Amino acid sequence: MQESMRKLGILFIILAMVLVLNLSYLQVFGQDGLVENPANTRRLVEEYGISRGRIITADGLVVAESVKSEAPFAYRRSYAGGSVFSHVVGYDSPQFGRSGLEAHYNDFLLGRKPSRGWVEEMTSDLDEGNELTLTIDSELQAAAAQALGQRGGAVVAMEPKTGAVLAMYSWPTFDPNALVSQALDADGNLAADALMRAYAQDPTSPLFNRASMGLFTPGSSFKVITAAAGVDAGIPVDTFYDCPAELAVNGSSVVNYAGSPDGSMNMDTALTFSVNTYFAQLALALGGDLVDYAQRFGMNGVPPLDYPAVSAAFIPQAGEMDDVELAWTGAGQGRLLMTPLQLCLAGCAVANGGKIMVPHLMKDVRRGDGILERYEAGEWRAPISADTARQVLNMMVDVVEEGTGSAAAVSGITVAGKTGTAEVEGQQSHAWFIAIAPAENPTLVVAVVVENAGGGGTAAAPIARELIEAALK
């Protein structure tokens, strides 16, 4: 009997070991799958029990704050900036997750970052988050929204010396307050569910931020990069090409826009009047260097903006293009795809002596009066020399003063710019404009795209002008 009781004891020890092994699996090794299960509301209850930090523009406008919510959550977001800021700020919803800066700076807004040390984290309650200050200027953002109006497109404005994004607006946009509302409809379902479905099915994609993700053919606005590549590669501004209205290339041809001058001209004149056949010849002279330069400006890579939805602009590799496509690429047509953000960054290189600073939306993170983290400006790329940048900038001044970009001129401020009219098959062209102001000491770079709106000089340049006026006047 003693023996069988000992064996019974061993059985109980084995049962306890099985329990411990299973617990170790559940609690430590196999934990992730359970924590992330969609039916696990613990994280939601936890996170929406925290008063998230406010999001404030550089000039002090509160664009997002936490307010008391209906059960089961303690708090929900309120967006005073509404749809003007919705793409930048994003939304924070227990049902649909997070987007925009709400997603990117989630840990900061929840107060989990920067770390406060384990002693404080264990002893004090983490029920208040940190405040995020943006580089966005509310007036410039409002001006961008006002200028673009109800036209599909986007506006990006940056400070070239620091990489600070001053405005980023995209239309169509969405109503973030309706999306995070916990109100129920007549059937007792979450009212925001139907709204989210409508947004998701809308062919104009209102949830899609065209400023950072929209890929459009750049048209002539790309000539800024072609010109910069040429000058930097040793083809001086004073290089004259004979530019017919139609240039034969390998049995096909590159044609100018109606009304462009023809004959022999230098790069300055060609950029000022956006002459396709000049940049076609420049591209053929550059060959693979054009692609290399485009990539040095950041194309074919995702710009390191502190924002979760950023697309890479695209240029085909030299080996994948024949001479016809290479010639057209120099003029901004072909398979090229550009985002407004990437064009703005290219403009920043021209405006900032050839260097592109890392683009950013965060200015600092605060808790009460203390600044916990401050953004430190850093260089991202240096695609061209300072000398090249100055020469390209001078040519761009002529574009606004004498050429296609005259609609961007502002009295009393020297504006540099370049238009783009990207031909889209079967539809009206996309209108582009890239502006730098003031040219003597640039503090603002603006990139504008308006979908299917016609010429860049007529549809996009005035928008850039309004932003320059809002920022510098």
Sorted by sequence, the CB contacts under 8 Å of residue 174 that are 6+ apart come out as 83, 86, 199, 206, 207
Closest to 361 measured CA to CA, from 11, 63, 52, 38: 63
Binding mask 7-36 for other proteins (x = CB under 8 A): xxx--xx-xx-xxx-xxx-xxx-xxx-xx-
Residue 56 near residue 132 (C-beta atoms within 8 A): yes
Determine whether 267 is exposed, middle or buried from the number of CB atoms within 10 Å of its CB (0-12, 13-18, 19+): buried
**Is the Cβ of residue 11 or residue 198 nearer to other proteins in the bound state?**
11
> Binding of other proteins at residue 119 (CB under 8 A)?
no
Least distance CB 49 / other proteins (angstroms)? 9
d(CA 458, CA 124): 59
Q: How far is the CB of 95 from other proteins (least distance, A)?
A: 15
Q: Measured between alpha carbons, how far is residue 103 from residues 65, 144, 263, 275, 406 in Å?
A: 14, 23, 54, 44, 40
Nearer to other proteins, 33 or 370 (CB): 33
Which listed range, 87-95, 120-128, 189-197, 385-393, lies at the site for other proteins (CB under 8 A)?
120-128
Stretch that binds other proteins, among 38-46, 165-173, 310-318, 461-469 (CB under 8 A): 38-46
Per-position DSSP letters for 223-269, written without gaps between them = HHHHHHHHHHTT--TT--EEE-SEEEETTEEEEPPTT---EEE-HHH
Binder among 67, 119, 125, 370 for other proteins (CB under 8 A): 125
**In terms of CB distance, is 41 or 250 closer to other proteins?**
41
Q: Would you say 1 or 183 has its CB closer to other proteins?
A: 1
4 near other proteins (CB under 8 A): yes
Q: Which is nearer to other proteins, 4 or 201 (CB)?
A: 4
Work out whether 37 is an interface residue with other proteins (CB under 8 A): yes
**Closer Cβ to other proteins, 112 or 390, answer by number:** 112
Shortest reach from residue 471's CB to other proteins, in Å: 47
Q: How far is the CB of 33 from other proteins (least distance, A)?
A: 8
Residue 258 found at the interface with other proteins (CB under 8 A):
no
Q: Which 8-state DSSP code applies to residue 403? A: S
Question: According to the binding rule CB under 8 A, does residue 117 interact with other proteins?
Answer: no
* Of residues 19 and 194, the one with the C-beta less far from other proteins: 19
- How many residues bind other proteins (CB under 8 A)? The answer is 37
The least CB distance from residue 46 to other proteins, in Å, is 7
DSSP state of 338: B
Return the sign of the alpha-carbon dihedral for residues 461, 146, 215, 359: positive
Q: Give the Cβ contact number of residue 252 at 10 Å.
A: 13
Least CB distance from residue 15 to other proteins, whole Å? 5
Exposed (0-12), middle (13-18) or buried (19+): which is 182, by Cβ within 10 Å?
middle
CA–CA–CA angle 70, 75, 80 (5° rounding): 105
Q: Which is nearer to other proteins, 19 or 424 (CB)?
A: 19
Q: What tokens does 303 get?
A: 């710009």
Taking the C-alpha atoms of residue 368 and residue 371, their distance in angstroms, rounded to an integer, is 8
Q: How far is the CB of 164 from other proteins (least distance, A)?
A: 39
Burial of residue 425, with CB atoms counted within 10 A of its CB: 0-12 exposed, 13-18 middle, 19 or more buried:
exposed
Q: Is the Cβ of residue 126 or residue 318 nearer to other proteins in the bound state?
A: 126
**Residue 96 DSSP code:** T
Positions that interact with other proteins (CB under 8 A):
1-9, 12-13, 15-16, 18-20, 22-24, 26-28, 30-32, 34-35, 37, 39-42, 45-46, 122-123, 125
